[in-house]
Structure 1
Amino acid sequence: MLFVSGLGAFAAGRGDAAPAVPPFVGKSYSSTAVTGPEIPGGGPLQLTFTAANRISLFAGCNRHVGEMTVEGSVLRVGSLASTMMACPGPRAGADEWITALTREPLTWYSAGHALVLSGPGTQVLLMEKYS
């Protein structure tokens, strides 16, 4: 739970205004910790922000892509298209986990190479991936 307590200190120190283009655009991230419902099959959640309004998500089963909007510290994910693979075993619920995470607007903040997404009952810590 170190990540949760450390996040509170960071959240209090955020700036008032978000940049016009969020710092995560053009980058890829992989989850390192989740509070709330765990990712079925263990994840990790992989996110790529391909453009200022596009997102790609993968949690172990199908890849989901779609539009997103960012207003200040709020990220809204629109309708997602996905591949249609059948995923047996523990990863079978990964797609539903993504749907539940993105159903409501998410609050985001970043520090260095870390990105935190928070939604109702779930908080995900992601670290930037390098090619």
Structure 2
Amino acid sequence: MKLLVVLALAISTAACGSEGSHDPGLMPTLAGDYVVTAVTDGGQPHAVVRGTEIRLSFADGRFGMRAGCNGMSGTYAIDGSTLTVGPLASTEMGCPKPRMDQDAWLAGLFARPATIDWQKQTITAGEVVLTILPRTAVHPDQDLRRTRWVLDGLTSGDTASSVPAGPPVVLRMEGTDVVQVSGLCNGFGADVEVAGGGIRWMPHMRTLMACADPARHALDDEVSSVLTGRTTYRITEKTLVITRGDAGLTFRAE
């Protein structure tokens, strides 16, 4: 059996040797997150379970895989052209049978050492061909400034909470240095300075009306308490997380 995985390869360069001698030492490697964009089995198209997507990750000697049900992970090693994935541990969520069967099928593909052809950018281990691209090429991270961000959840320490019923809370960055948040009891706006992975918030004057719904009043307070002073932020695909201390706001792109 042959498994061909078409890869986007990361190349790392190491120099070694004594002074005056140079070894470019180009060492191709698998690194980062990948999305499987096509599958064939025995040369024929193989459809993944409807509504699922296969993802592979390679980072710090750890291999990860998700295919719509459980997450699987284990060690991996590359020795020359041989890729060896260690025994896979898996979460134990109950899923519809087609998804669980797909998990088992994929785990079986990596149950034996695979051979990497670095020039062709393939991994051979069966009759299955997985075509993959870097995650960022398939699902790029959304732009902070040109996206409508809808509040999807809140965190405080290790506790996560949902957004209470009511109008959606929407964050928009206007231009490069002004943010407006709609959907709160009281209007919210702020001048901002974005640098690296941080945002400095300088809130505008705002009304302080009491909300009719106590839960929405608490939401108003929580949002405004995070969006002040210095915060960190990160964007992964369509998710924006803004954190100040141990409190955080999670937004989704729409």
TM-score above 0.5: yes
Q: 2:53 aligns with which of 38, 41, 44?
A: 44
User: Quick check: 1:77 aligned with 2:82?
Assistant: no
Provide the residue aligned with 1:94 in structure 2: 102
Task: Considering fraction of residues, name the structure with more helix.
Answer: 1
| Aligned length, in residue pairs | 111
CA 1:109–1:59 in 2, change beyond 3 Å: closer, same or farther?
Answer: farther
Task: Quote the Cα distance in structure 2 between the aligned partners of 1:64 and 1:36.
Answer: 22
CA 1:108–1:32 in 2, change beyond 3 Å: closer, same or farther?
Answer: farther
Provide the residue aligned with 2:68 in structure 1: 60
Provide the residue aligned with 2:38 in structure 1: 33
Runs of 4+ in 1 over 4 A off after TM superposition: none
Q: 2:126 aligns with which of 117, 120, 128?
A: 120
Q: Percent identity?
A: 30
Task: Quote the Cα distance in structure 1 between the aligned partners of 2:125 and 2:103.
Answer: 17
Task: Quote the Cα distance in structure 2 between the aligned partners of 1:118 and 1:31.
Answer: 16
CA 1:123–1:107 in 2, change beyond 3 Å: closer, same or farther?
Answer: farther
Gap runs ≥5 in structure 2 = 7-24, 142-254
Provide the residue aligned with 1:105 in structure 2: 113
Which TM-score applies when normalising by structure 2? 0.38
Gap runs ≥5 in structure 1 = 8-16
CA 1:18–1:62 in 2, change beyond 3 Å: closer, same or farther?
Answer: farther
Rg bigger for which structure? 2
Amino acid at match of 1:54: R
Task: Quote the Cα distance in structure 1 between the aligned partners of 2:87 and 2:78.
Answer: 15
